[in-house]
Amino acid sequence: MKILSVDDNPQNRNIMEIALSKQHDIASSEGTEPILALMEQHQPQVVLMDILLSNGLTGYDLVEQITQSGEYDDCEIIFISALTSSEDKLTAYGYGGDDYIAKPVDFKELNEKLKRVELRITERNNLKEMYDVASTTAFTSMQQASELGELVSFFTDNLDVTDLDALFANVQQYFTNAGASCCVEFRVANQYHQFPKQTISELEKEILELGRRAKRIVPFSSNLLFNAPACSILVKGINAKDEGLLGRLRDNFAILLTIIESRMEFIEQQLEKATIRQQALNTLKSQLADDFSTINKLCSEQDKQVKILVNDLSQAIQSKMITLGLDEEQESELVGLVDETKEIVEETLVLSFTLEEKLQAITKRLKAVE
């Protein structure tokens, strides 16, 4: 233990050094040097302070300087003096003394007091260490809670995401919040999508391509490459010198990769469903177009046959009217009947044209469906 002894009597200083030097690191002063300079030089854990000095100052004055500096609050002060009244001891305590011993010094008593000081210093150091550990643990716990909160937010924010651009934007924001940057390759339906599209370098592209066959985590320098079947993430600029923090970040990034991989499986399923739907729709459009074309042809053919039939009937009736022996009124009635039949046929043909227009409109709407 480091001890500073302040006494204006050389004999007392020598005796003190002889008695304590075997067990402690002791330095002595007659009290004429600036006390704060001595404290700075020796950094004592205990000061043995004589009260009555010969330089115009008292031990009280020197201790007052020590306490007012605020830099040596952990240093123990033991006053040593021939003044032994209760008032003297209370005065010493009031000036910042931690203990008091009367002259002539009983070194057995002094050693007992120094042992108690050592015990108090040990307890104080233990408490400080416990406080530091508790503070570090609490801070780490808060950091971990914050980091887990970021992961939970990322998970919930991407529950409805089915677009790769939106997914990358959220991934990029996560790493920005973590103090890093990233490049990503998504693998969907045997296609590779690398981000950021505009700024990714050729080297970064090659590294992401290597991730298709690499192990799950590949560290190099201040960068990390995380790989999964559906995704690779190149994390850049991780400024974590603390091994514990770096390990925790690696764990968090691995969890993030798992979340992204799960999201990619969902996106791929949705794309497969959309592809199947589009194929079915295309097949339906093609079949309907063929059917409509067939119907249109049949209607046109039917119209032609009806026109021919009506014309043939009209010509046949006109050619036979002479031989039928009909009077003028009957001929007029028969011609009127033929003309009425033609009008009905014409109206039927108009309905066919309307049907054709409707079929064409349906075909156009089907072509517009994607």
Domain at 256, CATH number: 3.30.450.40
Q: What is the pLDDT of residue 359?
A: 65
Residue of higher predicted confidence among 265 and 348: 265
Residues 41, 57, single domain; the answer is yes
Q: What value does the mean pLDDT of the chain take?
A: 82
Query: Which residues lie below 8 Å from residue 281, measured CB to CB, with a gap of 6+?
Result: 369
Same-domain status, 25 and 117: yes
Output 230 or 321, whichever has higher pLDDT.
230
**Domain contains 133:** no
Same-domain pairing of 164 and 238: yes
- Into how many domains does the chain fold? 3
d(CA 119, CA 295): 107
Indicate if 298 and 358 belong to the same structural domain.
Answer: yes
**Residue in this structure with the two tokens 């240093």, named with its chain if needed:** 75
Confidence band for 140, pLDDT divided at 50, 70 and 90: low
178/289 same-domain check: no
The dihedrals phi and psi of 151, each to the nearest 5 degrees, come to: -65, -40
SS3 16: helix
Segment 97-129, tens digit of pLDDT: 889 999 899 999 999 999 998 998 888 888 788
Span 151-161, mean pLDDT? Answer: 85
Domain final residue, candidates 272, 296, 331: 272
Do 220 and 233 lie in one domain? The reply is: yes
Q: Does the residue 15 lie in any domain?
A: yes
The mean per-residue pLDDT over the stretch 288-315 comes to 72
State residue 180's pLDDT score. 87
Question: Which range of residues forms the domain containing residue 352?
Answer: 277-368
> Among 249, 272, 295, where does a domain finish?
272
Residues 267 and 155 in one domain: yes
**Secondary structure (3-state) at 22:** coil
- Tokens 């014309």 sit at which residue? 311
Residue 295 domain-assigned (yes or no):
yes
Q: Is residue 150 part of a domain?
A: yes
Give the DSSP H or E segment for 210.
helix 202-210
Flag the least confident range among 2-6, 17-21, 144-148, 214-218: 144-148
pLDDT digits (tens, 9 = 90+) for 333-354: 766 776 777 676 666 655 566 6
Q: Is residue 136 part of a domain?
A: no
Same domain, 167 and 233: yes
Residue-wise pLDDT tens digits, 24-80: 999 999 988 899 999 999 999 999 999 988 878 899 999 999 999 989 988 999 999
Q: Is the pLDDT of residue 252 over 60?
A: yes
Phi, psi angles (nearest 5°) of residue 21:
-65, -25
- 154 & 203 share domain: yes
